[in-house]
Amino acid sequence: MKKIVVTGGAGFIGSNFVRMLLRKRSAAKVIVLDKLTYAGNLDNLAGLNKDKRFKFVKGDICNAKLLADILPGADIIYNFAAETHVDRSILEAGSFVKTDVVGTYTLLQKTLEYKVPRFLQVSTDEVYGSILKGSFRETDPIKPNSPYSASKAGADMLVRAFYKTYGLPALITRSSNNYGPFQHPEKFIPLFTTNAIEGMPLPLYGDGKNVRDWIYVEDNCRAIDLVGRKGKIGEVYNIGAGDEKTNVYIARKIMELTGADPSLLTLVSDRPGHDRRYSVATRKIKALGWSNKTAFDEGLKKTVRWYRQNENWWRPVRDGSFRKYYRKMYTGRLKEGRKL
Ligand code: NAD
Ligand code: TYD
C-alpha cells in the first residue's frame, strides 16, 4: 500500500485533494499533517476518519521532530501547508515567512534525510508577478509582489536548490486562483457569496478590473495528482483553466446567482501592490495529459449552490476571530467606499 503524506490537508485545496485521493486510489494510505491554523478546519475532512486508509495528525511542518515520526516510509509528500491570504500577509508577513519558507525548508531537509522518493511543492502563479499581456511560462523569472507570493517564491527557490544541489526528487505545480467548496470566506469568491447571502456590502478593491484565471478546485486537484504520478523530477508545471475574468464580472455573477441587491456592490480603496492580472501558459501540463473540465460559469454556479446549502459549514468560520479580521480589513474602507 502506498503511503501518501499531505501537509495542509485540512485547508481548502488540500481537503478536496485528500477526498479525491481516497476516492480514486484504493491502494493508498493518506496521512494528513496540518497545524489547524484559523484556515484549517476538521469539518473539511468530515467523515474521512471512518476510512482505515486515512489518518490525521495535528502539527506544524516547522517541527522537524514530528516530521521524523511521519515521513519515514512515505512514497510521496504533497506540501499544501501554507499561510495563503494576500491581505493577511500585508497586515503581518512573519507567519508567512515562517510556514511558507522555513516550513518548506524543514520538510525538504527531512525528505532528504528519510530518502522519500517524491516531493511535490504546491506553489502558485502569483510567484511570477503581474502580466498585462500574454502568459507566463514555467521558464520565466519569478517576480513576486506581495509578502505571500514572496514567501511562496522563497519556497520554490529552496525546492529548486535542493533538487540541483542534493538531487532531491522534487516537482513544483504553480496553479492559478482556485474556487469551489470548502474555501475560507476570507477569499474573494466565498467572501462575496456569503456576504451576498447575508445582505452585506461586497467590497471590490480598486476599479474592480483586476483579472485572475479561475480554476475549479477539482480540476486543479486532478492536475496535481497527475504531476505527482507522471511529472518529471526537477520540473515546474503551470496549471490554469484559461478562464480569465475581471473581479467585477464575478461580483455581478454572484449577485445574479444569489439574487442580492445590486446596490451592495461597493468600490473600496485598493489593496497595496495589487497585481493587475495573472495568466499562465499551460502547454506543459496539457502535454502530460490534463485538460480542464469545468467552465467558469458552471463552476461558479456549483460553488454558490454549495455555499447556499452549507451554511452550517461557513457560519461558524465567519464567527469569532474572523469578525475581528473583517472589521479591521473592511469597516473603514466600506465607510469611504462608493457605489458602482
Ligand atoms: P488554506 O489557507 O485553505 O489552507 C492551508 C492549510 O495549511 C490550512 O489547513 C492550515 O491549517 C495549514 N497550515 C498552515 N500553516 C501550517 C503549518 N505551519 N504546518 C502545517 N499546516 C499548516 O490554503 P489553500 O487555498 O488550500 O492553499 C493550499 C496550497 O495551495 C497553498 O500552498 C497555496 O499557496 C497553494 N495555492 C492556492 C491557491 C488558491 O487559489 N487557493 C492557488 C495556487 C496555489
Ligand atoms: P483573493 O481571493 O484574495 O486571491 P488573490 O489575491 O490571491 O488573487 O482575491 C482575488 C481578487 O479579488 C484579487 O484581485 C483581489 C480581489 N478582492 C476584492 O476585490 N475584494 C476582496 O474583499 C477580496 C478578498 C479580494
Per-residue pLDDT for 281 more than 90? Answer: yes
Instruction: Determine contact, residues 10/42, Cβ cutoff 8 Å.
Output: yes
The secondary element (H helix, E strand) that includes residue 254 is helix 247-258
* Active-site residue, selected from the candidate residues 34, 60, 100, 126: 126
State the pLDDT at residue 255: 98
Instruction: Determine contact, residues 119/172, Cβ cutoff 8 Å.
Output: no
Nearest bound ligand to the CA of residue 215? 1
What are the residues whose beta carbons fall under 8 Å from the beta carbon of 163, sequence distance 6 or more? 169, 170, 233, 234
Ligand 2 within 6 A of 188 CB?
A: yes
What are the residues whose beta carbons fall under 8 Å from the beta carbon of 16, sequence distance 6 or more? 180, 181, 182, 217, 218, 221
Per-residue pLDDT for 33 more than 90? Answer: yes
Per-residue pLDDT for 340 more than 90? Answer: no
Average pLDDT along the chain: 98
Instruction: Determine contact, residues 143/179, Cβ cutoff 8 Å.
Output: no
Domains and CATH numbers, the chain: 2-179+214-239 (3.40.50.720), 188-212+244-269+296-339 (3.90.25.10)
278 is catalytic: no
**Atom in ligand 1 nearest the alpha carbon of residue 38:** 11
Q: Which cell numbers in the block locate residue 206?
A: 480598486
Per-residue pLDDT for 163 more than 90? Answer: yes
Per-residue pLDDT for 158 more than 90? Answer: yes
Give me the percent of the chain exceeding a pLDDT of 90. 99
Write out the E strands in 50-152.
Answer: 54-58, 76-79, 119-124
Ligand 1 within 6 A of 36 CB?
A: yes
Ligand 2 within 6 A of 178 CB?
A: no
Which residue minimizes the CA distance to atom 14 of ligand 1? 82
**Atom in ligand 1 nearest the alpha carbon of residue 85:** 2
| Tens digit of each residue's pLDDT (9 = 90 or more) over 146-157 | 999 999 999 999
Per-residue pLDDT for 256 more than 90? Answer: yes
Which phi and psi (to 5°) does residue 317 adopt?
-70, -35
**C-alpha 244 – ligand 2 centre gap (Å):** 14
| Nearest one of 28, 255, 64, 236 to 136, comparing CA atoms | 236
* Active-site residue, selected from the candidate residues 100, 125, 218, 275: 125
Q: How far apart are CA 236 and CA 120, in angstroms?
A: 10
pTM over 0.85: yes
Q: Compute CA 109 distance to the chain's CA centroid, rounded to the nearest angstrom.
A: 23
| Nearest one of 78, 123, 103 to 278, comparing CA atoms | 123
125 is catalytic: yes
Q: What amino acid is encoded at 196 in this protein? A: A
Task: Read off the pLDDT of each residue in 9-28 and give the average, rounded to a whole number.
Answer: 97
Ligand 1 within 6 A of 220 CB?
A: no
Give me the percent of the chain exceeding a pLDDT of 70. 100
**Atom in ligand 1 nearest the alpha carbon of residue 125:** 43
Task: Read off the pLDDT of each residue in 24-48 and give the average, rounded to a whole number.
Answer: 97
325 is catalytic: no
State the pLDDT at residue 333: 97
Task: Read off the pLDDT of each residue in 195-201 and give the average, rounded to a whole number.
Answer: 98
11-43 b/e (C-beta count within 10 Å ≥ 16 → b): bbbbbbbbbbbbeebeebbbbbbbbebebbbee
Task: Read off the pLDDT of each residue in 72-91 and give the average, rounded to a whole number.
Answer: 98
Per-residue pLDDT for 331 more than 90? Answer: yes
Task: Read off the pLDDT of each residue in 218-232 and give the average, rounded to a whole number.
Answer: 98
Ligand 1 within 6 A of 8 CB?
A: yes
3-state DSSP assignment of residue 194: helix
